[in-house]
Amino acid sequence: MAGITIARSLTTLAATVVLTAGSAVGAVGASAAPGPAEPDAAGVRAALQRVVDAGAPGAFAVIRDHGGAERGRTLTVGKADLAGTPMNAGWRFRVGSNSKMFTSVLIMRLAEQGRIDLDKPLREYLPAGTLPESWSITARQVLEHRAGVYDHTNDLLEQSGEETTAAFEKRIRNNVYEPKDLVAMSVKHGLQYTPGTAYAYSNTDFVLMGLAAEHLTGRPYAQLLREQIFEPLKLRQTTFTVPEKTIAGPHITGYLTNDDRGKPLLDSTEQTASWVWSAGGVVSSARDLDRFMTALLAGGRGGLVSDESLRQMTSVLPTPTAKISYGLGVREIALSCGKVLGHGGIVQGYQTQTFSTRDGKRTVVLFANASNNGAVTSGLTNTLEPAFCGKAPAAASPRRSITGTGNGNGTGNGNGNTNADTNGGRWIPTVEDTRI
């Protein structure tokens, strides 16, 4: 089965990922609908400019259409660093919680091999003592963020929902945490609700899944990523080097917005990322994220997971945030022109949104090099609309925005000031995982 072993040559796979992604619609139940609307380039650029105006040094959008005639569009605004280097969409950056999709792929491959049952207690697939014997949470509930697992990152940050420069320098930048210790931080808080009854985003969920992958295979998480995803897909700009602090090769500088907005942005590029490990420690590029998403949504043809695994990953359930649903390590966002699949990620200094149409025909990678700023987060998320849906209808009437226009001062939790929406009510809410 393709989701278990990638048997074809790397050259053939790389070509197949591009050529067949659009034809794998049966894997996720999409119909043979017309391709996506022409992106609104002016609208995308304007949205990126709002992100920069809100406090990010720079931002970019990479839009790629697959199936039939391949086409790519890249729009950049601002700078890759405060020294004045123009933003470069070909460089590497920290992808934050986009890493969760990679971890989910590893788990689904193990499930295809019969090495893990997603509906049995997860503790059976972890080192002894990792979870209490009384915890019957399943791998599926954990992948869906519906297990009631406390997010250990709350204990490492200054306050819930905020990054803060003080916490970063004190507990994040240079500290090296063992994954089992991150889980122990969470376990001491107990389960937060009856598993399966609610949704609450938790980074600890995907630390647990990384530990399970290691335990079941006897191989380090970084090696699993390299052998099963990075090398077969030729993701030459993608690495997992936690706890090494530096990013090798040409890369974008990340900046953490200072808690005191009167102080300069803090260069947060160098950090161990061990505090989030398999929940957010991957470094990649727009090119590689596009290739990964295209292969994933191609199901069995893409060589990562089987059609059935993809169906399960993309069978989403609603969350408390309007227009946002979540599957197994995959988020779904409802735009005005339809639903897109992927994930977002924020890790100190970096924000990324990676989404694709359900049939894989269009992938959009959005990026900004600043965090701890809710207006930047809202602005970047709302760039998805013009990128996927094109121009707003001319007759659209103004409506109020849930998260604001991206011009106000956000708090980093998606609950910033509400401003008039002059784009026909097409703004979408900022998701709740604004830290990672």
Sequence-distant (6+) residues with CB within 8 A of 361 are: 21, 22, 35, 36, 65, 66, 67
pTM: 0.86
**Long-range Cβ contacts of 79-87 (<8 Å, 24+ apart):** 80/252, 80/253, 80/369, 81/57, 81/252, 81/253, 81/369, 82/57, 82/253, 82/255, 82/265, 82/267, 86/58, 87/57, 87/58, 87/59, 87/60, 87/252, 87/369
Q: Interior CA angle at 140 toward 137 and 146, to 5°?
A: 65
- Listed in order, strand segments (DSSP E) in 97-150 are none
* DSSP sequence for 2-62: TTT---S-HHHHHHHHHHHGGG-GGGTT---PPPPPPP-HHHHHHHHHHHHHTT-SEEEEE
The pLDDT value given to residue 419: 35
The pLDDT value given to residue 279: 98
Give me the active site residues, please.
97
Q: Are strands 255-256 and 324-326 parallel, antiparallel or unpaired?
A: unpaired
Question: Cβ distance 137 to 191 under 8 Å?
Answer: yes
The pLDDT value given to residue 104: 98
The pLDDT value given to residue 137: 98
- Does the structure show a pLDDT above 60 at 34? no
pLDDT above 90 covers a percentage of the chain that reads: 76
- CA-CA distances (angstroms) from residue 83 to 92, 132, 185, 344? 17, 50, 39, 27
- CA-CA distances (angstroms) from residue 260 to 265, 349, 351? 10, 16, 20
3-class DSSP state for residue 71? strand
Compute the distance between CA of residue 182 and CA of residue 201 in angstroms, rounded to an integer.
16
Helices (H), 134-268: 139-143, 153-156, 165-167, 179-187, 203-217, 221-225
- Is 70 exposed, middle or buried, given 0-12, 13-18 or 19+ CB atoms closer than 10 A? exposed
- Range 1-13 burial, b when 16+ CB lie within 10 A, else e: ebbeebeeeeeeb
The pLDDT value given to residue 420: 35
Q: Which segment of 169-178, 322-331, 407-416, 417-426 scores lowest on mean pLDDT?
A: 407-416
- CA-CA distances (angstroms) from residue 122 to 92, 109, 130? 34, 16, 10
The pLDDT value given to residue 422: 42
Question: pLDDT averaged over the chain?
Answer: 86
Sequence-distant (6+) residues with CB within 8 A of 52 are: 58, 59, 77, 78, 368
The pLDDT value given to residue 85: 98
Question: Cβ distance 273 to 242 under 8 Å?
Answer: yes
pLDDT above 70 covers a percentage of the chain that reads: 81
Question: Cβ distance 12 to 302 under 8 Å?
Answer: no
**Neighbour count for residue 87 (Cβ, 10 Å):** 23
pLDDT tier at 436, thresholds 50, 70, 90: low
Name the residue among 40, 69, 97 with its Cα closest to residue 383: 40
Compute the distance between CA of residue 161 and CA of residue 119 in angstroms, rounded to an integer.
30
3-class DSSP state for residue 73? strand
- Does the structure show a pLDDT above 70 at 421? no
Kindly report, residue by residue over 283-299, the tens digit of the pLDDT: 999 999 999 999 999 99
